Amino acid sequence: MNVISNNNIKCTIALAALENVVDPEIGLNVVDLGLIYVVNFDEANKKINAAMTLTTQFCPMGESIIAAVKRVLENTFAGEEVLLELIFDPPWTNERISEEGKQFLNR
């Protein structure tokens, strides 16, 4: 999955929550799809600095997926401000899909 984080425990909680955000076209959640790049926690300032990508920069569902990721993080870590960055460098490739994700797509 290769998610960068400065707090492994909180990152695990975040990713577990984000498994509920599903790409509507593919039917796979954003974590197993490999769309989440970074989830860093700024404890002092009560901020979450996250970075994610999309399967394509021109994804028609992009806005909805981003909004869902932001909302889930806000709900999971109430009281912390979520700063979500959308990045396309490095671009998403099929290689980022997790083993579970590949098994799901292979069904």
Binding-site member from 7, 19, 38, 40 for other proteins (CB under 8 A) = 38
Between CA 101 and CA 86 the distance in angstroms is 21
Which residues, other chains included, contact 8 with Cβ-Cβ below 8 Å and sequence gap of 6+?
Answer: none
Cβ pair 94, 34 in contact under 8 A: no
Pick the piece of the chain touching other proteins (CB under 8 A) from 5-13, 39-47, 98-106.
Answer: 98-106
**Residue 16 touches other proteins, criterion: CB under 8 A:** no
24 binds other proteins (CB under 8 A): yes
- Asked if 85 is part of the footprint of other proteins (rule: CB under 8 A), the reply reads yes
Q: Does 56 bind other proteins (CB under 8 A)?
A: yes
First to last CA, the chain: 20
